[in-house]
């Protein structure tokens, strides 16, 4: 028997893209579906856009609470055995749900598929995600050592109801954006992962995405570190429920996160979650992470993550500049200097 699939479209102020997302859900060739649209307190004309769809989709209109809040509201209304979240600025190929249903089995917690990056007008820009194929099957051993795998954004994931019931509720304050991250990290503890190597979704990069890229902004960097460190707590919590023990240095296993932490530490902007971080710890364990990562980096790329960590022990200012230049490699000299000048404010 084919599963009922619940499609939850979360929207906040994307009225111009919203029809494409809804129409792509309505036009799915798979018949056993329900479509729920959660408007998270939009202040543009999103609700006028939604009015003609009343009766064809289930509408949930709520006050603004962020993406995790929208996920919770949609899931509370969903009846499906399989749950898909679709961002309102993205859209799907017509056969997406049919392909998900064709591979679905009881042992799965998550199905991911390839996603095509497009511009604001829906024109492909020549990039697909993930850049590397994720491992299929049981991801727990990998997550408990690396707290990462090549995952896809919100609109290219389907979750089992069983997994989401075990994961929810999320911290709505921490996950106002990027609420798909705790889902893709925790779901593998409740079943296997399957990947469909076909571009079935379209990820729109239009210049105002909250999730795309890392701007040169200290407040955003602080948020990235808080969410990055939350990865470890998520994995440890769900591993502990199953009697599993993650690697003791799991929290230092992401090279880019180690550089983010070093930047905040040197700029005297450390967030509370960084309590216990020292330059020596970051140098020792950050080096281990850069050397042992299974990302196919060259030695030059590994050195780019290691050099600032060790430089921080003898030349903190120089190390901060090295880290900033490595992370924001495509920024102009003027942008870099402005960012560095704001370091200790």
Can you give the pLDDT at residue 345? 62
Per-residue pLDDT of 177-214, as tens digits, reads 999 999 999 999 999 999 999 999 999 997 655 444 55
Q: Which residues of 294-314 are buried (b: 16+ CB within 10 A; e: fewer)?
A: eeeeeeeebebbbbbbbbbee
Regions in the chain scoring below 50 on pLDDT: 210-212
Distance CA 231, CA 254 (A): 10
Antiparallel, parallel or unpaired: β 33-40 and 5-11: parallel
Q: Cα 138 vs. chain centroid, distance in angstroms?
A: 20
pLDDT of residue 116: 97
Separation between Cα atoms, residue 101 and residue 86, nearest integer Å: 16
- Give CA–CA dist 305/327, Å, rounded: 9
pLDDT on residue 216: 85
d(CA 54, CA 61): 12
Q: Compute the distance between CA of residue 71 and CA of residue 85 in angstroms, rounded to an integer.
A: 8
Written as one string, the DSSP assignment of 199-218 is EEEEEE--S--SSSS--S-H
* 3-class state of residue 100 by DSSP: helix
Q: What is the pLDDT of residues 62-87, one digit of tens each?
A: 999 999 999 999 999 999 999 999 99
Contact 283, 298 (CB under 8 A): no
Q: Whole-angstrom Cα distance, residue 91 to residue 30? A: 15
Local structure of 48: helix, strand or coil: helix
| Angstrom distance (rounded) from CA 264 to CA 262 | 5
Handedness of CA 187, 192, 197, 199 (dihedral sign): negative
Distance of CA 271 to the CA centre of its chain: 20
Q: Are 286 and 255 in contact (CB under 8 A)?
A: yes
Contact by Cβ (8 Å): 250, 232: yes
């Amino acid at each position: 028997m084919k599963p009922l699939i619940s499609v939850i479209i979360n929207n906040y102020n994307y009225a111009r893209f919203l029809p494409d997302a809804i129409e792509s859900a309505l036009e799915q060739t798979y018949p056993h579906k329900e479509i729920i649209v959660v408007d998270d307190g939009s202040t543009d004309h999103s609700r006028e856009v939604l009015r003609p769809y009343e009766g064809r989709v289930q509408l949930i209109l709520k006050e603004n609470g962020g993406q995790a809040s929208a996920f919770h509201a949609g899931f509370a209304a969903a009846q499906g055995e399989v749950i898909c979240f679709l961002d309102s600025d993205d859209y799907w190929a017509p056969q997406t749900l049919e392909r998900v249903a064709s591979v679905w089995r009881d042992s799965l917690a998550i199905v991911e598929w390839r996603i095509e990056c497009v511009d604001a007008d829906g024109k492909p820009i020549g990039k697909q995600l993930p850049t590397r194929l994720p491992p299929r099957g049981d991801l727990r051993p990998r997550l408990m050592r690396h707290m990462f795998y090549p995952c896809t954004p919100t609109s290219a994931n389907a979750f089992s109801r069983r997994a989401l019931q075990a994961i929810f509720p999320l911290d709505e304050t921490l996950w106002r954006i990027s609420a798909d991250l705790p889902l893709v990290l925790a779901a593998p503890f409740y079943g296997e992962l399957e990947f469909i190597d076909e571009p079935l979704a379209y990820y729109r990069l239009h210049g105002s995405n909250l999730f795309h890229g890392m701007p040169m902004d200290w407040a955003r960097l602080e948020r990235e570190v808080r969410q990055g460190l939350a990865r470890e707590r998520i994995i440890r919590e769900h591993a502990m429920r199953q009697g599993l023990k993650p690697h003791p240095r799991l929290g230092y296993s992401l090279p880019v996160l180690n550089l983010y932490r070093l930047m905040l530490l040197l700029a005297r902007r450390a967030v509370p979650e960084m309590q216990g971080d020292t330059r020596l710890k970051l140098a020792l364990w950050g080096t281990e992470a850069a050397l042992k990562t299974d990302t196919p980096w060259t030695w030059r790329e590994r050195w780019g993550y290691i050099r600032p960590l060790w430089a921080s022990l003898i030349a903190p200012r120089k190390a901060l500049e090295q880290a900033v230049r490595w992370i924001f490699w495509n920024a102009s000299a003027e942008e870099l200097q402005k960012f560095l000048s704001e370091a200790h404010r």
